[in-house]
Amino acid sequence: MATYEYLCGRCGSFDVKLPIGTAPKDYGCPVCAGAARRMFSSSGLSGTSHAVTALHAREEQSREAPAVVSELPPGVRPVRKRPHPALSRLPRP
């Protein structure tokens, strides 16, 4: 089953689930029973959550104009990693 999007001139857009390849060019609106024409839209993006959509938009924006970080935010201390203890037993040149 595939989800097809139709646009009614009076009521707006609505989705219809039909078997793949069987979607007609016009479909009856479930609200006013008027003729609605099929719209072609990107698949899968209309069913994503708001958080995923916002992250996608943020990623696209950072691709064009990335934010430049010049210093750490206030209150964040750099983490100092101690060398692994096994490194002290290695022979020195």
Looking at residue 57, what is its pLDDT? Answer: 86
Question: Where residue 78 falls among pLDDT bands split at 50, 70, 90?
Answer: confident
Q: How do residues 6-62 score in pLDDT, each as one tens digit?
A: 999 999 999 999 998 899 999 999 999 999 999 987 765 567 788 888 888 888 888
Neighbouring C-alpha atoms within 13 Å toward the C-beta of 38? 13
Neighbouring C-alpha atoms within 13 Å toward the C-beta of 65? 2
Question: Where residue 1 falls among pLDDT bands split at 50, 70, 90?
Answer: confident
Domain ranges of the chain: 1-60
